[in-house]
Structures are given as C-alpha cells and as structure tokens.
Structure 1
C-alpha cells in the first residue's frame, strides 16, 4: 500500500525540521571538539616577560646607577605579562582559586658589573621582541595586535637601553 504524496511531504518536512533543530547542538559539539589540548601560544611570551621583569628588578637592587631604568623596564615587562595572562585566561578561563597559568619565575641574580647587567637587559629585550614578532603572523587579529604591541614595546625598551 502506497502512502499518498501529501503524507510523504509531511514526513520530509518533519525530517528537515528535526535537522534544523539539531543544528545548534551539532555546532556546539563541533566547537567543543576543536578545542586544542596544546598549551596557549602566548604562554612562552608571558613567561619571558615575567622573567625579564625579575631580572630587571634584581639589577635595580644591585646596580644603583641603573635602578631607575631597570625599574621602568621591569614595570613595562610586568605590564606585558599581565596583558598576556589576561588574554590567556580569556581564551581558557581558569578557577580563581587555581594558580596563574604563567608561574612566577625563580629569583634572579643580577650580573656582577653594570656593563654585564645592561647587556643582559638588552639581550632579554632583543629576544622578547623577536619571540613576539615571530609569533604575530600565525595569530588571529586581536591576538596579533596584542603580541605586536609587546614586540614594539620590547623594541622601544632596547632603544632606552641604548
């Protein structure tokens, strides 16, 4: 026994409606499935920024002639680390009870001479600038802007150090 043509179209419409109703659920599952288990690309930048700030603070405590410049550099790199940490946490929210995803670096010891200390800061800024610049092309727009700002900030700090 064949069903009349009108009843087939009702069944087809119901099937289409079910597919449309299920589409949001499928989209959510697909989005969840594409989340990467790899560490955030910004973690090494934030870790380096914190380490640079610790080095600069150690130099500020050890070499009085460089203390003002080193403290300014430490403040700038701390701001970089904070902005990067904020972006990391925005993408992968964490429980406020958990420690930050970017740990504080081990205490740093300043180089023994002012010349070596200045060289260490220049090297750190050059590496930070290059590390950020290399990452920019592979990032989405909003993250690329943040990382490019960090790169530009490190380049500016290199100029301050001479």
Structure 2
C-alpha cells in the first residue's frame, strides 16, 4: 500500500506559513488606508464659547453703564482667548480656505434687562468656561495644555474683576 504524497498538494506547509505570516501586515496596511472620520478638535467648544462670551460681554457693556468697564474687559479678554484657541486649532488642523473659519462666529447677543441679571449671566458664562477648560486641560499635552490651563485661570481672574 502506498502512502499518498503531500508533494502533489496545491498548498505546501511553507506556503501556508508565509500566508499566515503576511496576514498581520496585510491587515495593518488595509486599516491604515481606510479613512477614519476626523474627530472635532477638543478646543473647538472652548473657542466657540469664548466668542459667545465676548459677544455677551459687549452687549452687557453697551446696555448697562454700571457694568461697562468690567464687561468691556471681559469682552476683550474672551475675544483674545477665542483668537488664541482659533490659532491653535488651525495650526493642528489647517482649515480649508473655501470652508470658512473653523470656529463659527458668535451669534448676536442681547443683554439681560437688569444689571443684576446681566452680571449673573456673565458670571455663569465665566464659571462654565473656567470649568470646561479646567476639565479639558489634563487631557491635553504640551502647549495645548498650557493654553487651556491659562484660559481657565484667566476666567477665574475675570470672575474677580466682575466682583
């Protein structure tokens, strides 16, 4: 009785080993070529809020003379935050020139009717910005962590300016 030969088989042991050895490389290359959906920049919400806060502070400064100095300062500082965050967002993810700014412009704001309500609206916006930035800072690295941390600290200082 003759033992069937393996030499006549279309798949030899070496061929199978090569196939299995190449499989991880094929998977890695095919995964690298697929387009993953781009996650929005973590700083985008901070920059948008900074623009919104600046618009609110400008409206408060225009409507309430007793808050004009503090609200004007808040508007300037929050606009500077928005610009700095915008620059960092655009540095990491250069924007498409045809798509417009990566951080949307603030919608027009109207100041609350009374000075007390206006001051409280500014305080609430600054507290929220401070908390959001403080929560985001530990997840960032290098310059971005410092930028976000200084935005948080600056918002805390602005709360003191507002009184």
Q: Shorter-chain TM-score: what band?
A: 0.7 to 0.9
Greater Rg by CA: 2
TM-score (norm 2): 0.76
Distance 2:37 2:55 in 1: 31
Q: Which residue is 1:5 aligned to?
A: none
5+ long unaligned stretches in structure 2: 1-31
Distance 1:55 1:98 in 2: 26
The reply on whether 1:64 has 2:71 as its aligned counterpart is: no
Q: Which residue is 1:130 aligned to?
A: 131
Cα RMSD after superposing both structures: 2.0
Alignment of 1:71-86 (within 5 A): 71-86=72-87
State whether residues 71 and 162 of structure 2, in contact with CA within 8 Å, keep that contact through their aligned partners in structure 1. no
TM-score (norm 1): 0.77
Q: Deviations over 1:94-130 (max 9, x none)?
A: 2445411111121111000000001111111110000
Q: Which residue is 2:94 aligned to?
A: 93
How many residues align? The count is: 134
Distance 1:69 1:134 in 2: 26
Q: Which residue is 2:122 aligned to?
A: 121
State whether residues 126 and 158 of structure 2, in contact with CA within 8 Å, keep that contact through their aligned partners in structure 1. yes
Q: Which residue is 2:161 aligned to?
A: 160
Report which of the two has the higher share of helix: 1
Q: Which residue is 2:18 aligned to?
A: none
Q: Which residue is 1:144 aligned to?
A: 145
